[in-house]
Amino acid sequence: MEMRNMTHEPYVSQLSNCTVDTSYRFTFYQVSYSVIFLVGFATNGMAVRRQCLSPCTVNSTAIYMASLLAADLFFLVSLPLRIYYYHQKAQAFYSESSSAWTPGAVYCQLTFTLKYISLYGGIFFLVCIAVDRYFAVVHPLASTPRRLRVAQLVSGGIWCLVLGLSVCLPLLRSAAAHRHRPCLLDPSSQHHRTIILIALGVVLGSFLLPTALLLFSYCRVLSVLRQPRQRSRSQHRSRRHTLTVIYWVLAVFLFCFVPYHINLLGYTLTHVGLLPNCFLAKVTKAIHPVVLSLASSNCCLNPLIYYFSSKLVHREPASGGGSETERVTPKGQGLST
């Protein structure tokens, strides 16, 4: 979320001196989004190529990873529009032109919709991978065909949820946007501030609930994997791949999503006047471009999760009994652990 400077009377006296120069964001966004675009297409392209060249294996992990890659591609498609937006803004700012380029409402709706598809599609499908690891390790006797059917239904349901959020959130933004600058929020009226807080609640709920589910799943998985027991060499490899996936998913959450949502909370509360703290207003506004770029970089890191997950997706188990990270499945179906 990006807002114009506060102008509404109740808070002018408290925040009137809390302006901070964020003109660096025009160049910063152009550079960061260009890097994310190039790296993201390279890493996602390699992931798609790996998927196409690998033996055809359809299981729960493969379904969630395919959905995660699709969500990343939605965001990558939107990046040229964002780069163009900040290029035009930079030209208008540095030339001090009075005829600054102003994008239309359709442009804003499209770019924010694609952003939310990637952001919350990434969060939800990473949580799906976490829950899939939970059932594969903590409940290894669950039927693999049943897990495949559940994954198909869950994936479809999450796409409906993500698309619904990605349409509703930009609509809420547009309802609280500046009349002549539809891409910027305008918290100058009580009605707009209420809408902004509703959108903030939806955003935080869409992050905190999946995060709680992810942490619960991985804590249970780690508690099982760390139990001392004798394992075969193949079971050790499977355990190592599972742990790698867990650590990568947690790293993406800590690096990309946590800073963005923490800063968004402080940024929004200070700029709607609920938390009139001058220092916090300056800090959150100054670092907002940085944490937003970190959140956007998840589309570059997710293919690494796919790389490690593919060790589990395409690995053919030996016949015989399974373990907490390995179980027998019909030939050609592969592992979903």
Each residue of 283-296: pLDDT tens digit? 999 999 999 999 99
Mean pLDDT of 159-173: 92
Of 139, 26, 145, 132, give the one whose Cα is nearest residue 86: 26
- Does the structure show a pLDDT above 50 at 5? no
Go through the domains of the chain in sequence order and give each one's CATH number. Answer: 22-313 (1.20.1070.10)
The DSSP code for 10 is G
| Model pLDDT, residue 179 | 77
The more confident residue out of 321 and 276 is 276
Q: CA angle 106-73-23, nearest 5°?
A: 60
Average pLDDT of the residues in 147-152: 85
Separation between Cα atoms, residue 150 and residue 198, nearest integer Å: 32
- The angle, 0 to 180 degrees and rounded to 10, between the axes of the packed helices 233-252 and 298-313 is 160
Over residues 140-162, mean pLDDT? 84
SS3 labels along 132-186: HHHHHHHCCCCCHHHHHHHHHHHHHHHHHHHHHHHHHHHHHHHHCECCCCCCCEC
For residues 30-56, average pLDDT: 85
User: Can you tell me the mean pLDDT for 224-251?
Assistant: 74
pLDDT digits (tens, 9 = 90+) for 199-208: 999 999 999 9
Question: Would you say the pTM of this structure is higher than 0.85?
Answer: no
Residue whose tokens read 């729960």:
60
Look at the chain and count its residues: 337
Range name among 52-56, 144-148, 326-330 with the lowest pLDDT average? 326-330
Q: What values do phi and psi take at 177, rounded to 5?
A: -90, 160
Question: Which among 203, 210, 123, 137 has a CA at the least distance from the CA of 169?
Answer: 203
Mean pLDDT, the chain, rounded, equals: 79
* Residue 248: strand, helix, or coil: helix
User: Which range in 103-117, 284-298, 314-328 is most confidently predicted, on average pLDDT?
Assistant: 284-298
CA torsion 334-127-231-143 (nearest 10°) is -50
